[in-house]
Amino acid sequence: MKSSILSTIAVAAIALCGGAVASAQSGKPMTPNDTTSYAVGMSIGRSFKDQGLEVDVNMVANGIRDFFAGNPKLTQEQFQAALTALQQKAMERMQAAQAAQAGENAKQGEAFLAENKKDPNVKVTASGLQYKVIKEGTGKKPTKENVVKVHYTGKLIDGKVFDSSVERGEPAEFPLSGVIAGWTEGLQLMSVGSKYTLFLPPNIAYGANGAGQSIGPNATLVFDVELIEIVK
């Protein structure tokens, strides 16, 4: 994944920097081609900085110049080995950062749930699911085989909203067998017309992998859910 990003940037640099070396010596982009070439350099720098990778900027420039001069100082095998090592270092840094975040998220989630269950209105199931009844409906309760229609707002424990059908203005429909375990369990506790707040520890949410950019590894999640209808 990281290697493809770096390779794309490198290819762009080679394609766009040709002929711009002399004018770029002044340090300030003077022509449209200078500006494009300088932007590619910024992109390379941002990629390395974002990944926490240290490189010698002068050697990067030398590599570009030598390539255009037709006199690269590395063989193809050395070139590939160096990029593979860089990819490995980037992967190790990413994995270390993810592990640290997972540990911190788990710690904060455990503390949140321990405090949350002190609320006499919060009930706890064997799985660790916590829920609070906001409004109790009078309709039927769905089973795992049903498709339901709901309105919901999903939040992190700091209150940040990461998803909301309410904000989109359109209820969501899904089979209860096709969602995270905390939803499958929690929705079966609800009668149609009910509004609950569900508090999901990571083992019944998205676990150590998280989900997308908003839900980190081992995140504890909070959902305000209204069960509108059992569709089928």
Which residues belong to the active site?
152, 162-163, 180, 206, 223
CB 188 within 8 A of CB 141: yes
Q: Which candidate, 58, 65, 63, 57, places its Cα nearest to that of 19?
A: 65
Q: How far apart are CA 217 and CA 17, in angstroms?
A: 40
Which residues, including other chains, have CB under 8 Å from residue 190's CB and lie 6 or more apart?
137, 141, 142, 196, 225, 227
Give CA separation, 98 vs 154, 207, 208, 222, in Å: 22, 13, 9, 22
CB 153 within 8 A of CB 167: yes
CB 222 within 8 A of CB 197: yes
The torsion angles phi and psi of 197, rounded to 5 degrees, stand at -110, 125
